[in-house]
Amino acid sequence: MLKGFRDFIMRGNVVDLAVAVVIGGAFGQVVNSLVADILTPLIGALGGAPDFSAIKLGPIALGKFINTVVNFLVVGAAIYFLIVVPMQEIEKRRKKAEETAPPPPPEPPEEVKLLREIPDLTYMRLLE
């Protein structure tokens, strides 16, 4: 029973998934810090305090929802412009480099291959 569990845990995709979750959590903290500590104060300096929590529609705290939506949009924009766009540019450059790479040299004709075998065959005869 424990052997089966060990085999399940040690499968490559389970370990990869665990690493992805840990890296994703750490990356989430980086993005949240970027938004909370850099982007939000910049927005606040440009257009006033970006806090809508005081807006209420009767008992409904509409301002908290608006804050959450604005935070979502800022996080999405940060991920898109700081991660997705640069990665797309890197991928485009990599593909362009692959396309412009010179093709491999053509295969030599059969006669050249046979002529190259002569020294090898001669050496093998000397060893006999």
Q: Which two tokens stand for residue 13?
A: 């995709």
CATH of the domain at 87: 1.10.1200
Q: What pLDDT, on a 0 to 100 scale, did the predictor assign at position 50? A: 67
Q: What does the mean pLDDT of the chain come to?
A: 83
pLDDT digits (tens, 9 = 90+) for 4-38: 877 777 776 777 788 889 988 998 898 888 877 88
- Predicted model pTM: 0.55
- Number of domains within the chain: 1
How many residues are listed for the chain in this entry? Answer: 128
Nearest to 108 by CA among 96, 118, 116: 116
Nearest to 49 by CA among 41, 59, 37: 41
Alpha helices in the chain (DSSP H): 2-9, 12-33, 40-47, 62-79, 85-100, 110-127
Range of the domain at 65: 1-126
Q: What percent of the chain has pLDDT over 70?
A: 96
